[in-house]
Structure 1
């Protein structure tokens, strides 16, 4: 690509556009400036006036909630050489926007994009905005514009950085002529707005930073083919063949060690964070054992109910999450808290079940638990 591309000529004043790269994005922007240039020999001796926008920006995803001046040097935006015969010793003079940089930019942005507060609030940080002229060999004056804008999503707590815009332009003029610096600055600000507006239009539906809500989607995990781990299914009841650990020295006839887990996958669809949660009540066969004399239907039912209890706990976990008011800024926190609560509930229920049934030896209480579990598991 050519280093410079001439796009506008006014007598001997040439404005060139350069290609700039956005940091971290690998994107290129070719700034092409089209506006009349004032080719006169008068020195700018008053504040620079930004030109009024010719049309409103059609923004559908954001409004400007604020502008912050974050420049290292918050003084004048332009360092210019006079429109006169120059020498290397000729000093530059500094000139600012009318009313000051921040008020002038706020006014310009407000005219370019009237606020629609039903959209996302965005804060624009001015990192750099400067025009600097230098005398070149041969008596020409080279001007360089640099602009860096940082766009942040306004949040209740900490604002969220979205993307930075970096742009600029070069121009060359004769010593007796002058550049329309106000038009140059106006077009550069508008180019930054146009870039961000295009970016957010494309990103709004799939960028998690721009999501507007959270949706939970639950499913029951199933592993095919089945390995050592059994994942709960109403159609898959325990059998004695599942008890594959060598019997332990215990006063009990059999024992199982079911537990709970979940898997999570996140995607953004049409601006909504879809949190897919796989429910995983599970039981390792290698952790189940039974003594030779304990293989009775009654004992198998008692152990099955231990597995049923973890399924109930997972259903409680699901119901608790559906009642949560999850936000785009913190949805994993409540999920993790509810999971830990469910883990404690599982341990408490398993202990209560064994204590009240005396590990299955109390037949009448065992039957009460059977009915209670079946009732709650009923679709």
Structure 2
């Protein structure tokens, strides 16, 4: 008899526990607008996964859920309002930070008062991790009679629609000015002949080095007769224009007089140092050629530019080491003469002999 009583108790209470209020986001949109974005993913990032409680006509507490799942239903709901442009569409990820529905019964008015809160984050997807664009925070309050439970659906649909309208308005005003929404990168490379100063001598084929450009004190314990500090750099600046990133890159090949010195001055020694400077120019030229051939994506272009510069910098060090090693810092006159010819040819844009001699590609 105890077993039978226990089973009867389960039959009595199980239906009550299983009852819930299911949100239905399905709606009818008469005309879908074409947009340059598409919602690709909805992520449930809520700390509290329960949505909330509403009350039945008999004042039973009903946990709130979605027909399928919140992420799937919301993705379908958003996609009802637009069609993604086939030519170009930003892939948008949505993170749901909070979705909370609370309801209380007001005995004096015999009405239910409810509040729905929603917090979302919109992100642009690309080859790298999603980039944050904008957040939406909204809430709606409502009152309903006991027989109007389904009115909650309308309130929730209204709030989610407002979140879409907010994002839709934001992206239409920002897509031409927001860097993360750029459709392309237009790279402009500037490599002019620059005027030199006492502190910096910029490379100029019409201005060869003189010993007056070596102003540092000689290092008495160095085995070298002379040392030149020569290098190159790139500086960049960018802005958004008509949906494109206009990226400028300024190339500078230079030597620093105050970090360059000489012990015994001669025309032969000066030529050796000039070839060091010429090699900097050659490597910078090779980098500029690669820059102008780059196909840059908006999401990764800065890293790609940085990688190309670092590769060129490593190449410069390798070429300079090969030059000094093979000429024995200019002491081997025959090898020095060979390198002179190789460098002069490389300055014209023919790099085959230099690549073979220095072991670069």
Which residue does the alignment assign to 1:319? 289
Sort the Cα spacing of 1:244 and 1:186 in 2 relative to 1 into closer, same or farther, 3 A: same
Residue 120 of structure 1 pairs with residue 90 of structure 2? yes
Does 104-113 or 246-255 show the bigger shift? 246-255
The answer to whether the 8 A contact 1:61-1:204 is kept is: no
Which residue does the alignment assign to 2:104? 134
Q: Give the whole-Å Cα distance in 1 for the aligned partners of 2:329 and 2:68.
A: 83
After TM superposition, give the deviation of residue 313 of structure 1 in Å.
1.3
Sort the Cα spacing of 1:63 and 1:355 in 2 relative to 1 into closer, same or farther, 3 A: closer
Give per-residue Cα distances to partners, 1:122-148, cap 9 Å, x unaligned.
233334344422234742542212122
Matched residue of 2:204: which SS? coil
Which residue does the alignment assign to 2:3? none
Sort the Cα spacing of 1:55 and 1:288 in 2 relative to 1 into closer, same or farther, 3 A: same
The answer to whether the 8 A contact 2:127-2:300 is kept is: no
RMSD: 3.7
Sort the Cα spacing of 1:102 and 1:290 in 2 relative to 1 into closer, same or farther, 3 A: closer
After TM superposition, give the deviation of residue 95 of structure 1 in Å.
4.9
Matched residue of 1:280: which SS? strand
After TM superposition, give the deviation of residue 119 of structure 1 in Å.
0.8
Could you tell me which of 201, 214, 229 is aligned with 1:243? 214
After TM superposition, give the deviation of residue 183 of structure 1 in Å.
2.1
Equivalence map 1:288-327=2 (5 Å): 288-291=260-263, 294-296=265-267, 298-323=268-293, 326-327=296-297
TM-score (norm 1): 0.70
After TM superposition, give the deviation of residue 343 of structure 1 in Å.
3.0
The answer to whether the 8 A contact 2:196-2:202 is kept is: no
After TM superposition, give the deviation of residue 51 of structure 1 in Å.
5.9
Which residue does the alignment assign to 2:256? 284
Specify which structure has the bigger relative contact order, considering alpha-carbon pairs within 8 angstroms and separated by 6 or more residues.
1
Which residue does the alignment assign to 2:79? 110
Which residue does the alignment assign to 2:347? 377
The answer to whether the 8 A contact 2:35-2:82 is kept is: no
Could you tell me which of 52, 65, 88 is aligned with 2:27? 52
Aligned length: 328
Q: Give the whole-Å Cα distance in 2 for the aligned partners of 1:254 and 1:76.
A: 76
The answer to whether the 8 A contact 2:35-2:83 is kept is: no
Residue 257 of structure 1 pairs with residue 225 of structure 2? no
Matched residue of 1:349: which SS? helix
Q: Give the whole-Å Cα distance in 2 for the aligned partners of 1:258 and 1:98.
A: 69
Q: Give the whole-Å Cα distance in 2 for the aligned partners of 1:347 and 1:103.
A: 55
After TM superposition, give the deviation of residue 285 of structure 1 in Å.
0.6
Sort the Cα spacing of 1:62 and 1:148 in 2 relative to 1 into closer, same or farther, 3 A: same
Q: Give the whole-Å Cα distance in 2 for the aligned partners of 1:167 and 1:264.
A: 40
Q: Give the whole-Å Cα distance in 2 for the aligned partners of 1:328 and 1:175.
A: 54
After TM superposition, give the deviation of residue 168 of structure 1 in Å.
1.1
5+ residue gaps, structure 1, are: 1-44, 85-89
Residue 229 of structure 1 pairs with residue 204 of structure 2? no
TM-score (norm 2): 0.73
Residue 202 of structure 1 pairs with residue 173 of structure 2? yes
After TM superposition, give the deviation of residue 284 of structure 1 in Å.
1.3
Equivalence map 1:1-379=2 (5 Å): 47-50=22-25, 52-56=27-31, 58-72=33-47, 74=49, 79-80=54-55, 82=57, 90-98=59-67, 101-116=70-85, 118-136=88-106, 138-139=108-109, 140-155=111-126, 158-173=129-144, 180-220=151-191, 226-249=197-220, 253-291=225-263, 294-296=265-267, 298-323=268-293, 326-360=296-330, 365-378=335-348
Q: Whose helix fraction is larger, Structure 1's or Structure 2's?
A: 2
Sort the Cα spacing of 1:170 and 1:286 in 2 relative to 1 into closer, same or farther, 3 A: same
Sort the Cα spacing of 1:242 and 1:64 in 2 relative to 1 into closer, same or farther, 3 A: same
Sort the Cα spacing of 1:309 and 1:133 in 2 relative to 1 into closer, same or farther, 3 A: same
Matched residue of 2:137: which SS? strand
Sort the Cα spacing of 1:199 and 1:78 in 2 relative to 1 into closer, same or farther, 3 A: farther
Q: Give the whole-Å Cα distance in 1 for the aligned partners of 2:75 and 2:126.
A: 20
